[in-house]
Structure 1
Amino acid sequence: MKKITFCLMIAGASLTFQPLQSSAATTSETTPVSKPTAESSANTLVLRLDEINSIDKSSLSRTEKKELRGEVKSIEEQLRENSGGIYLSVGAIIIIILLLIILL
């Protein structure tokens, strides 16, 4: 039984790595695509947040409001990731202050 599973594992591994070797020999001509700058993408995200905030939400259905909340959350997460700032929680700040008091 062990020999059969071992042979099947070896056969699967050899089939898995075969396409990688064949594609490594070929080269394709690709053109580099310029990425938008972080500032321009942040500006577009902020503009979208302003649009969402200016919408009259009283006329929207429950599902539309839920979709807008999800979109706002994702936009805010993207803005936090792109900001590059360091965020400390309240617990972390308390621990840092306690360590400073103890050490000094």
Structure 2
Amino acid sequence: MKKIAYLLSVMFLFLAYAPVATAGETKKEKTELTAEEQVRLDEINNRVEEIKAMDFADMSKAERNEVKSELKEMRAEAKALGNGVYISVGAIIIILLILILLT
């Protein structure tokens, strides 16, 4: 029993200090988008909305692959612009647990 308690206490200790150690590395400076970049980002958002509205059941496999590759290119371009909200898997799990516990 003492071994389990010791193991758990060491594990919680490492979990408590790991986020503090990595917090300084993740800070990024936010930059304002130029007018051209904002226009391109709006174009990408509009195209993504069009793709979401498409009916993929009527498309052939080649057409679906073209749409998929187009989405990948647009995602890479949007990431390059540096505008986006990213949520880690751990944060999503915590949010879901909180929602489940509160309901």
Question: TM-score range with shorter-chain normalisation?
Answer: 0.3 to 0.5
Computing the radius of gyration from Cα coordinates, the structure with the larger value is 1
Task: Give the TM-score, by structure 2 length.
Answer: 0.46
Q: TM-score with structure 1 length normalisation?
A: 0.46
